[in-house]
Amino acid sequence: MTDDANAPWLIVGLGNPGPEYAANRHNVGFMVVDLLAERIGGKFKRAQKAQAQVVEGRMGPPGPANRRVILAKPMSYMNLSGGPVTALRDFYKVPTAHVVAVHDELDIDYGVLRLKIGGGDNGHNGLKSMTKAMSAEYHRVRFGIGRPPGRMQVADFVLKDFSSSERKELDYFVDRAADSVECLVAEGLERAQSAYNS
């Protein structure tokens, strides 16, 4: 697969399927791709070739910066995300450098964004699974959720819903994360980093 400027982009929100997980911190990736799907006027449907839900459409301003995109939510549970993502990448002929994982990040303060390509998984099981399945050279939109308070276990913290005070700003932060994905796809990583890495 060539890294063709006109190749489609695969934007993957990481999360866990099912209503009991829907509002968890770990599911912020799903929240961001849900908003992106709304913006492009698409509804998620079951993928034919992968355990995932997908929306196909176009993103970006009219003209050469307008890109074909596939938005995806793996339905495999977080720690098995790599299988569905790789199947979608291969089916839609997406270069790995055009894959974007949107995910929660413990080591960044709540609501802060960091965009990058490649790197480690920092203990994130979704990223670990993706990297094992296809290499680390994909983009990440890291959505800060902060560290657990006191002695709370990381697993308990990420599988809890956002607190009531966090929820007051959540829509704004999800909106900003969706903006950053659109900027990344249309204008490239450097432009998106300078605009959104805070």
> For the segment 152-172, what is each residue's pLDDT rounded down to a tens digit?
999 999 999 999 999 999 999
pLDDT value of residue 44: 97
pLDDT value of residue 6: 83
The tokens describing 112, both together, are 């802060």
- When pLDDT is cut at 50, 70 and 90, the band that residue 60 belongs to is confident
pLDDT value of residue 87: 97
For the annotated catalytic residues, the residue numbers are 26
- Give, for 56, the enclosing helix (H) or strand (E): strand 52-59
pLDDT value of residue 3: 46
pLDDT value of residue 1: 41
Indicate whether 58 pLDDT > 90: yes
CA distance 14 to 4: 25
CA distance 84 to 88: 6
How many residues in total does the chain contain? 198
- Scored b (16 or more CB within 10 A) or e, 157-167 reads bbbeebeeeee
- The mean predicted confidence, pLDDT, of the chain is 95
